[in-house]
Amino acid sequence: MTQPHSSNQLASALDAASRDWQVFPLIPCDKRPAVRDWEARATADRERITRCWTRAPYNVATATGPSGLVVVDLDTPKGPDDTPPAEWAEHGVTDGADVLAVLCERHGQPFPTDTYTVRTWSGGRHLYFAAPEGEPLRNTAGDSARGLGWKVDTRAAGGYVVAPGSIVNGHRYATVHDMPVAPLPDWLTNLLRPAPLPPQRPVTVPLTIRDRRGKFLNAAVNGELARVTGSGEHQHNNALYIASVALGQLVAGGELDAYEVTEKLAEAALSVGQGEREARRTIASGLRAGANRPRRVAA
């Protein structure tokens, strides 16, 4: 079994700093942060890094947002029962790399191999890309919200990846393609961009009769539920996210109850075959996004 050694981790952290990537310590032999407020404390300062990693064999994390990175995490199954959903199984996929290959084929694009790549402790791959300009991309997980698919996560603003040299479960993360980081391909950027929110100003709908207000809200809820239940086979999660954003605006405006909205959306998602855990993650993400632009209905 590989044993931790502080000089290996220090060299890894300094190598990341030489690429202007911001790093912070993880618990030795673990993937969890060893410090609070890790994104703000991530650094490329060589003196700070040296002081930190000479104290203990901390694993190394790269904070993707401050480093200007988007990392595509191609994971492997956790065990024999960790099998792909039907929509991916029909393509014969066995892991995240297979899922990305299917996406490349769908979009008529080559598999993105010409970039800095790390082998993870479990045999997966981290593909490093330069983040695109504009609104920062956020983390994604599997098929949730704007996720790319089963066993494919992304780490961007608000995320981090375990860096080469780190050890988890006795296995070391290792660089397998040491080359400049390529720009994130446009087609992947488009897939990962959040669905656009409705107009920026809060909307007030002028209604003068109280029961008309109730009818409006009922129609709004039913319309978004219909969006989910009427979505195409590979569009369920995206439709659920858009519906959650729309109703999240009304929740934030005090017009709808968050619990009731969540339960109705979850019921709609389950009716089209989505997993409950995944659906609730997507709903929560959409409600948070909708809360940024509250919507009210005038009495």
The DSSP-derived string for 231-278 is --TTTHHHHHHHHHHHHHHHHHTTSS-HHHHHHHHHHHHHHTT--HHH
Per-residue confidence (pLDDT) for residue 46, from 0 to 100: 97
pTM of the model as a whole: 0.67
Domains of the chain, CATH where assigned: 8-192 (3.30.2250), 210-292 (no CATH)
- Residues 163, 59: Cα–Cα separation, whole Å: 8
Per-residue confidence (pLDDT) for residue 232, from 0 to 100: 76
Per-residue confidence (pLDDT) for residue 147, from 0 to 100: 84
Mean pLDDT per 10-residue segment, the chain (299 residues): 67 97 96 92 97 95 97 94 88 94 95 96 97 88 82 93 96 96 96 64 46 78 89 80 93 90 90 83 91 83
Q: Which long-range contacts (CB under 8 A, 24 or more apart) does 110-114 make?
A: 112/72, 112/182, 112/185, 112/188, 113/177, 114/177, 114/179, 114/182
Per-residue confidence (pLDDT) for residue 207, from 0 to 100: 45
Per-residue confidence (pLDDT) for residue 204, from 0 to 100: 46
Whole-angstrom CA distances from 228 to 86, 192, 267, 278 are 19, 20, 10, 14
Per-residue confidence (pLDDT) for residue 201, from 0 to 100: 45
Three-class SS state of 121: coil
Angle at 20 between CA 53 and CA 136, to 5 degrees: 115
- Residues 131, 124: Cα–Cα separation, whole Å: 21
Task: Give the pair of three-digit tokens for residue 80.
Answer: 């024999």
Length of the chain, please?
299
